[in-house]
Amino acid sequence: MQNDSKQAGGIWRRPAIGSVTLSAIVALYLVFLTNFTFWSRANTYLADHPGALIGLYVGLSFLFIAVVIPFSIKYVTKAFFILLIAAAGSAAWFMDRFGVVIDSDMIRNAAETTPAEANHLITPEFLLHMALFVVLPILLVLWVRVVHRPVLQKIARNTAVVAGSLVIVGIVSVAFSKPYTAAIRQHRDLVKMLNPVTPISGAVKYLILTGREKTIIAKPLGQDATLMPPLAGLRKPRVTIIVAGETARAANFSLNGYSRETDPELKKRDVIYFPNTESCGTATATSLPCMFSNLTRAGYSHAGALAQETLVDVLAHAGLDVAWWDNNTGSKGVADRIKYIDLANTKDPTLCTEGECKDAIFLDRLDAWLDSVTKDSVLVLHQLGSHGPTYYLRYPEEFRRFKPDCRTAEIANCSDEEIVNAYDNTILYTDHFLSEVIDRLAKRSDKLASSMLYMSDHGESLGESGLYLHGTPYLFAPDVQTHVPFVVWLDEDFARSIGVDRSCLSKEAAAGGRSHDNLFHSVLGMTNVQTSIYDKSLDVFSPCKTGVSS
C-alpha cells in the first residue's frame, strides 16, 4: 500500500523544469501563438523572399529567447512570465479579431472607456480565447517547479544562451537586411503588430505620460475674447449647436457621394457639406481634444492640449452661455470648466439599454433648453453616433433599413455585408438626429437666429484590408478612419448676422480640403467672437463674408 501511495504521488508530482528551458518555451509561445496577425502580414509582405521569411521566424524566436532569459531570476521568473502571457494573450484577441494596434493611444482609449462600452467587448468568444491563451498557459507556469542553478553557474549559462541567440539574430539580420528594410519602410504597420512588444511599450509610455499629465494645469486662452454685435441689425439671441459626431466616416454619407441613400433628411434641409475633411486622430481620446484646441494636428499633443483652455472656454470668456451635453465617454477634458451634463447614464427605458442611450436622449431636453435661451449661446452635443462594435444598439428598430444587419458585438461572426448594413443604419439614424436638431432650431426662427455645425471625431474600418473599428496609428491609417463628415446649417438671420453669403459658402465648401484644424476658428467666426488667437485663414466662413446683407 505504501509503494502504491508513493507511485500515485509520483504521477501527480509537479514536474521540474529548468529556468532556461521554461524561458524558451514561453518565448516560443509568445512568438507563434500570440502573433497570428503579425505572421499573416509578414507572410504577405515577404512572399517574394521565402528565405527572408524563414529567417524572420528563426530570428524572432531567438530574439524573444534572448530578451526573456535575463528575467528568469528566482522569485521573479513566474511573475514576469505571467505578465507577458496576460499582456500578449489579451492583446492578441483584439489584434487578430479587429486588426487594431495596441499602442499608447489605444491604451488611453481603453483606460477612458465606460463600463458599458467595455462590456460589449466581453463576449463568450473573448472569454473562451482568454481561457485558452491566457488562463491555461498561466496555470501551467504556476504548476511547474522552476529549477534554478547556483548563481554563478546561472549567470554563465544564461549569458552563453543569450549571446548565442543574439549571434543568430545578427546573422539573420545581416543576411536578409535588404528585404527586411524594404518591408519595414513600405509596411510600417508590421513592426507595430509585434506582440507583446507594442502593447507593453505602449502601456509603459501611457503610464509615463499620465504621470506627467497629472500636474498639468490649463493656462487661460483667449481672455481678450469679445462678443461683437451681430450684423444686419439683428436683435434676437443667436444660437449655435455644435454636434461632435462619433465614428462617422465620410465614405458612408450620401452627402459625400455614397451610393446608398444614408442622408435623405439632411438633403431636404439646405445644409452645406464639406467633402474631404480630415480628422486630427483616429480615436476619440485624441480627436476630440484636438478638435476643440487651436493647436492643429501638426502641433497637437495630449499634454499640450491639457496645458491650455479650449474653444468652449474662449467662447465663455467672450460672454456667451456655453454648455456641453455628453452621451459618450466624456469630453476628454474639453468641457472641464463650463456647464457639463452627462446624459449617458440616464435611466430612460425607451432610449437607454445596457448602460448606453440612443442619441434621441438629447432631443426632449433640447426643446426645453432652446425655450430658455435669452442671450447668445453655444451648446455642444457629444454623440454616441456610430460607435462599434455594437452598431445595432445605436439605432431603433424603425431605422433598420439596410438588412440583414449584424446584431451582435462579435462582429467577426457577421459577414462584411451585415457589418456595413448595421453601420449604414447608424448613419441613417444620425441623419435623422441632425435633421431633428435643425427642425427644432428652425421652429424657433421667430425668436432665435440659429446654426448647427456637425463634425465627426474620426472614421471607422468595416473590414477593408482586414481592419475593423478604429484607432490605427495615423501614419498608416486608411482614409476611412481619417476622412470625416462636416456639415453646416445656417438659417437666414444667422447668415446675415455674420455677413456670410450662403451660395458662396456652398461653392467654397464643394472644393473640400478641410480638417479638424478649421473647427476652432470657424466657430469663433460664426459666433462673432473677436480675439487675438483667431486665425482667419482657418475660418471656413471668412472667404464668403461680405458684410451686412440686405
Banded pLDDT at 547 (limits 50, 70, 90): low
Q: Beta-carbon neighbour count of residue 75 at 10 Å?
A: 7
Who contacts 245 (Cβ-Cβ below 8 Å, separation ≥6)? 383, 385, 386, 430, 454, 455, 456, 457, 484, 485
182 CA to centre of own chain: 29
Do 24 and 31 meet the contact criterion of CB atoms below 8 Å apart?
no
Q: Is 149 exposed, middle or buried (0-12, 13-18, 19+ CB in 10 A)?
A: middle
Taking residue 505's Cβ as centre, other Cβ atoms within 10 Å add up to 20
- For residue range 236-272, list pLDDT tens digits in order: 999 999 999 999 999 999 999 999 999 999 999 999 9
Query: In sequence order, what DSSP letters do the residues of 472-510 get, joined into one string?
Result: --GGG--HHHHEE-EEEEE-HHHHHHTTB-HHHHHHHHH
Question: What is the arithmetic mean of pLDDT over 427-449?
Answer: 97
- Alpha-carbon distances, residue 227 vs 297, 314, 315 (angstroms): 27, 10, 8
Quote the pLDDT of residue 368.
96
The pLDDT-based confidence of 550 (bands split at 50, 70, 90) is very low
Cα–Cα distance, 428 to 261 (Å, whole number): 8
Predicted confidence at residue 460, as pLDDT, reads 97
Three-class DSSP category at 74: coil
Distance, C-alpha 522 to centroid of its chain = 24
Cα–Cα distance for residue pair 361/74, rounded to 1 Å = 57
The pLDDT score that the predictor gives to residue 11 is 56
Indicate the range of 28-37, 104-113, 378-387, 467-476 predicted with least confidence. 104-113
For residue range 151-174, what is the model confidence (pLDDT) as tens digits?
A: 999 999 999 999 999 999 999 999
pLDDT at 5 over 70: no
pTM for this entry: 0.90
3-state SS class at 54: helix
CA-nearest of 471, 464, 462 to 279 is 471
Angle between helices 361-371 and 416-443 (to 10 degrees): 10
From CA 432, how far away is CA 262, in angstroms rounded? Answer: 10
Confidence class of residue 12 from pLDDT cuts 50, 70 and 90?
low
Mean pLDDT of 454-474: 95
Confidence of residue 548 (pLDDT cuts 50, 70, 90): very low
Q: Measured at the alpha carbon of residue 127, what is the angle toward residues 124 and 130, in degrees to the nearest 5?
A: 150
pLDDT at site 91: 96
Beta strands 145-147 and 16-18: pairing type?
parallel
Residue with cell 511573475: 79
**Could you read off the pLDDT of 467-524 as tens digits, one per residue?**
999 999 998 899 999 999 999 999 999 999 999 999 999 999 999 999 999 999 999 9
Domains and CATH numbers, the chain: 2-212 (no CATH), 240-544 (3.40.720.10)
Cell output for 84: 507577458
pLDDT, the chain, mean: 94
pLDDT for 112 equals 84
Instruction: State how far the Cα of 434 lies from the Cα of 485, in Å rounded to an integer.
Output: 12
Query: What would the pLDDT profile of 139-148 be if each residue is shown by its tens digit?
Result: 999 999 999 9
CB 516 within 8 A of CB 242: no
39 vs 59, 189, 193, 394, 441, CA distance in Å?
13, 12, 9, 35, 54
- Taking the mean position of all CA atoms in its chain, how far away is CA 53? 32
- Which of the four pLDDT bands, split at 50, 70 and 90, describes residue 355? confident
The pLDDT tens digits of the residues spanning 117-145 come to: 888 888 999 999 999 999 999 999 999 99
Task: Let me know the angle formed at the C-alpha of 249 by 247 and 253, rounded to the nearest 5 degrees.
Answer: 125
The Cα–Cα gap between 55 and 52 comes to 5
